[in-house]
Amino acid sequence: MKDLSKNYINGQWVNWAGDTIDVHEAGTGEVIAKVPASGREEMEQAIAAADDAFATWSESTLEQRIKVLEQLHAGLKERAGEIAETVCREVGMPIKLATGIQAGLPATITKTYLNMLPDFPFSEQSGNSEVQYAPVGVVGCITPWNYPLHQVILKVVPAIAAGCTVVLKPSEIAPQSAYILAEILDGSDLPKGVFNLVCGEGHTVGDTLIKHPDVNMVSFTGSTRTGNLIAHAAADDFKRIALEMGGKSASVILPDADLAAAVKGTVNNCLLNSGQTCTALTRMLVPAEQHDEACELAAAAVAKMTPGNPLEETTRLGPLASAQQRDKVIDYIKLGIEEGHTLVAGGPEAPEGCDKGYFVKATVFGNVKPDSRLAQEEIFGPVLCVIPYNDEAEAIRIANGTQYGLSGAVWSADADKAKRVASKLRTGQVFVNGGAFNPMAPFGGFGHSGIGREFGKWGLEEFLEVRSLQL
C-alpha cells in the first residue's frame, strides 16, 4: 500500500500528519493507498503560493513555458506504464484501454499544445488597437475520478501555457496519477508555486478553493450538481468559471443506416470505461420497426463484454470505480425494471465470478420511454437505453429532450443527411457515422452539460483575458 500522506505546495512536498482517505482498488475493493484529508489551512497555503508565483510566471517567456511542457511530455511518456496501471487499479478501466487512453491521452494533449504554442497569437492587431491575451491569474482546478490524469492535463497544461498558476484538487477516489504529475513537474524547470496539489474532500479543501478571493478562476469537471454549487459560489466575487459536467448522449440511428455497425459502435461507446464516461452514448434511438432487431444486436454485443480482472490484457469490461458508484448503478437498473422497460440483457445481480470489487453487468433496456428517469438521468455505468421513434423529427426531439447536451452520434448511409441531422442536435459534439475523436477540436457542452470549452486553441483561450491597447 502506498502512503501518499503529503501535499505539493510551493515547490516542495509537505508531509501530512492528520486524517487520511483510503484509496481502493476497483477490481478487489482492497485499500491500495492513503492520501491526506487536508484542511482549509493547507489549501490556503497553496493558494498563497500560487498567488505569489503569478507575478513572475505571468511574465515568463513563451520559450520558458514550452521548455517546461517539453519536460512534462517526456515525463509522461517515460512513466506511461506506471500511469496506466495506477489508473487501471483505481478506476477499473482494462489495462489495454488504460494504456492507450488513461496514459496515452495526457501525453497526446500535452504534445498538441507544444505544437500549437509557437504560432498562437498572444497579441494581434485590430484596426488601431493591439489586442493582447493575458493570463487570467490563479486557477483552481477540481477534477474527477473517471479519467483522472487526462482531466487534470486538460486544465493544467493550457493554464501553465497561458501564464497562469495552478492549485489542483484531484479526486480523492483516484488521486495517485496526480501525484505522478506533481513528481514530474517537481523535476522540471517550473518555478516553485506555479503548480500546487492539495488532496482532500470537497466540503473542506474544495470549498476553500472555489470561495477564496485570491483565486481568479475555477475550472471544474464533474457532476452537474457540484457544478451548480461552484457556479453559485464563484458568482459572489465574479470568478471566471469553466464547467464540464454531465451528459445523457443520444445515438440517433436513421432508417437507412447500417444497423449492425451503428449498434456495435453505440454499444462500444456506451460501455467504454464501464460507462463511466460523460460523453457515453447511453440512449440509442432507433426506428420503431427496427427496435427489436436493434435490441437483439445490442444483447449480442454486450454478451461479449463479460466483466473481468482489469489488469488482464484480454478484459474488455472492468469494474466501476467505487462501491458507492456500483450501488448507484444497480439502483438505476432496479429502477428501470420498476418503470416497466424491457430488460434485454444484464440486470442488477452481481456478475458471475466477480464476488470481489465493484462489478456490474452490462445492461440493456428496450422500449424505454423518453421521459422516464432511466432516459433522463445520468447513470454513469454500463447501462444502455433503447428508445424507438416514428420519424426523423421525433428522433431529433427525443435526442434534444434532456437537460444535457455534451455529445451525440448520428448514423446514416447518406453522409449529407447525417450531417444535416447532426446539426440539429443541441450538443457540443456529434460523432457522424463513427467519426474519430479529434483532440484539436473544441470539447464542451450545451445546457446543463457545461460552460466553456477544452482542447485545442479553445482550451487555451479559457485561461486568457482579453485586453485592448488603443494606439
pLDDT in tens, 326-384: 999 999 999 999 999 999 999 999 998 898 999 999 999 999 999 999 999 999 999 99
Residue 140 has φ and ψ, to the nearest 5°, of -95, 125
Quickly count helices (H) and strands (E) in the chain.
16, 21
Q: Determine the average pLDDT of the residues in 6-23.
A: 97
pTM exceeds 0.95, yes or no: yes
Nearest Cα neighbor of 243 from 214, 263, 223, 261 is: 223
1 band by pLDDT with thresholds 50, 70 and 90: confident
Strand order, beta sheet including 342-345: 342-345, 363-366, 383-389, 281-287, 249-253, 408-411, 431-432
Please tell me the predicted confidence (pLDDT) of residue 3. Answer: 87
- Residue 168: helix, strand or coil by DSSP? strand
Helix (H, G, I), strand (E, B) or coil at 228: helix
Mean pLDDT of 245-267: 98
Indicate the range of 304-318, 390-404, 413-427 predicted with least confidence: 304-318
Angle between helices 392-399 and 415-422 (to 10 degrees): 40
Task: Show Cβ contacts of residue 404 under 8 Å, excluding neighbours closer than 6 positions.
Answer: 224, 246, 247, 248, 249, 378, 427, 445, 446, 447, 448, 449
Catalogue the active-site residues: 244, 278
CB 174 within 8 A of CB 148: yes
Cell of 10: 510551493
Q: How many CA atoms lie within 13 A of 389 on its CB side?
A: 23
- Asked if 200 contacts 44 with a C-beta cutoff of 8 angstroms, the reply is no
Whole-angstrom distance, CA of residue 137 vs CA of residue 135: 6
80-89, 178-187, 303-312: range with lowest mean pLDDT: 303-312
289-303 pLDDT tens trace: 999 999 999 999 999
Please report the pLDDT score of residue 306 as a whole number.
86
Alpha-carbon distances, residue 256 vs 378, 407, 413 (angstroms): 29, 22, 6
Q: Tell me the pLDDT band of 132, cut-offs 50, 70 and 90.
A: very high
Cα–Cα distances in angstroms (integers) from residue 325 to residues 142, 145, 220, 330, 332, in the given order: 19, 11, 20, 9, 11
* Average pLDDT in the chain: 97
Cα(89)–Cα(66) distance, integer angstroms = 32
Instruction: Tell me what the mean pLDDT of segment 254-275 comes to.
Output: 98
Amino acid 187: pLDDT: 98
Mean pLDDT of the region 431-457: 97
Predicted local distance difference test score (pLDDT) of residue 396: 98
Q: Is 198 helix (H, G, I), strand (E, B) or coil?
A: coil
State how far the alpha carbon of 21 is from the alpha carbons of 14, 44, 205, 369, in Å: 17, 20, 13, 41
Distance (Å) of CA 217 to CA 120, 134, 145, 194, 243: 22, 13, 21, 15, 11
Domain boundaries, the chain: 2-246+448-470, 249-403+407-438
Domain 2-246+448-470 sits in CATH at: 3.40.605.10
CA distances from 109 to 102, 135, 158, 283 (A): 11, 20, 10, 29
Residues forming beta bridges with residue 380, ordered by sequence position: none
Distance CA 177, CA 157 (A): 15
Q: Judge contact between 330 and 360, C-beta under 8 A.
A: yes
The CATH class for the domain spanning 249-403+407-438 reads alpha beta
- Paired sense of beta strands 342-345 and 363-366, if any: antiparallel
Q: What is the pLDDT of residue 355?
A: 85
pLDDT (0 to 100) of residue 313: 93
- pLDDT > 70: what percent of the chain? 100
